Amino acid sequence: MLTTAPNLPDPDGFYAALIALHEGRDEAESQAINARLVLILANHIGDRKVLAEAMALAAGTDGKG
């Protein structure tokens, strides 16, 4: 089951690091970084059901709104 409750010890710090990752890069570079990051994290999760839940939530088709 996908964890949707807050789960990061420092969400603001993570957000700042994510934004910093994109500084000085053009749109194509940022999109490539995001795609690689998604694939790296998906591999880490390794559970297709959880990943399907996450994709549905990101697409707004999770049935909750």
pTM of the model: 0.84
Q: Would you state the pLDDT for residue 63?
A: 57
For 11, 15, 21, 60, 65, the CA distances from 18, given in Å and listed in that order, are: 10, 5, 5, 22, 27
Is residue 21 assigned to a domain? no
Is residue 37 assigned to a domain? yes
Task: Write the pLDDT tens digit of every residue in 16-65.
Answer: 999 999 999 999 999 999 999 999 999 999 999 999 999 999 999 875 64
54: number of Cβ within 10 Å:
19
Is residue 55 assigned to a domain? yes
Is residue 17 assigned to a domain? no
Count how many domains the chain has.
Answer: 1
